[in-house]
Amino acid sequence: MTDTPSDAISSSVSPSASPSVSPSASPSLTLLGLGAMGTAFARAWLAVGYSLTVWNRTPSRAEALIAEGARPAASAAEAVAENGLVVTCLLDDASVGAALADADLTGKDLVDLTTGTPSEARTRAAWAEARGARFLSGGIMAVPPMIGAPEAGGYVLYSGSQDLFETHRTTLAPPAGTRFVGGNPGHAALQDVALLSGMYGMIAGAAHAFALVRGEKDISPAEFAPLLAQWVAAMSTMIPQIGEQLESGDYESGVTSGLAMQVAGIKTLLSTAQDQNVSPELLTSVFDLMRRRAETGGGREGFAGMVDLLG
């Protein structure tokens, strides 16, 4: 499935506002899955007065929410029957299939916040549409304490049915910001995984940095941490340039710290790691890519050319 122009990535994340909902206008929806994340979403919707029907495979996990005003359902099928908008927040895609196996999805709007692969999202979309439902896949870019807390900056990437998204975007907003990223149901999951991958790369660098300094009695990891955080944040400003270079195909214009210079510095980083008895394993693959790119004509580039080496 390919995007159409109308599926273009929306340019802003709407704030996870806490709309004041009058009782007569109170939206109603069903939520399947009351793990840590599902419970956080449920509380955010209950806090703004929505009528929320909940179901969880292990019923005891619903008890606290029922005491807070959620409506219980005896089965997932019964919960689905209660509302037109049905949200799933389950462990994985297999659990979504299991939970919805006996539910009648005809005419329903199904929003799946379960983390999965792009392929799983596309297959689940086709599965839902074959059962008469509109489908939207969501990738949650937040951890539970960020839900219902707009100042924390959490948001959900959505892709799939734009009509569904436009119909329910206000209802979906209280737990976290909403960002529609296109009609391809797999694109929320793909961008979710891409963003998580960027995070793990950052964590790899941070782990190596802490390992270098923590053996020194005069360097406190806690005092070093803000230096590291500020440096990584400052260096993240090169990411937009990489994006622009990948689009233009010009990997050299505007580059101030070319790969050739950076590759020359690798020996300093590796020698220091050896002196500090720190394994370089988290950084060797990125160093190898930098060398390969510099040796094959990319010495005046920044990091965009390394993306070409990856795929």
Q: How far is the CB of 88 from ligand FVH (least distance, A)?
A: 9
Which runs of consecutive H residues, i.e. helices, occur in the chain?
36-47, 63-67, 76-82, 93-100, 118-130, 162-172, 187-213, 221-235, 239-248, 259-264, 266-275, 284-293, 304-310
State which residue, 143 or 229, has the beta carbon closest to ligand FVH.
143
State which residue, 33 or 302, has the beta carbon closest to ligand FVH.
33
Residue 249 token pair: 């195909």
State how far the alpha carbon of 306 is from the alpha carbons of 1, 283, 309, in Å.
28, 14, 5
Q: How far is the CB of 72 from ligand FVH (least distance, A)?
A: 14
State which residue, 114 or 171, has the beta carbon closest to ligand FVH.
114
- Contact between 155 and 179 (Cβ < 8 Å): yes
State which residue, 57 or 208, has the beta carbon closest to ligand FVH.
57
State which residue, 89 or 213, has the beta carbon closest to ligand FVH.
89
Closest to 70 in 3D by CA, of 22, 124, 32, 21 = 32
Of all residues in this chain, which one has the CB nearest to ligand FVH in the complex? 35
Q: How far is the CB of 156 from ligand FVH (least distance, A)?
A: 9
Q: How far is the CB of 236 from ligand FVH (least distance, A)?
A: 21
Q: Work out the number of other CB atoms within 10 angstroms of the CB of residue 79.
A: 22
What is the Cα–Cα distance from 233 to 196, expressed in whole angstroms? Answer: 16
Residues that bind ligand FVH (CB under 6 A): 33-38, 56-58, 61, 89-92, 95, 98-99, 114-115, 140, 143-144
Q: How far is the CB of 213 from ligand FVH (least distance, A)?
A: 28
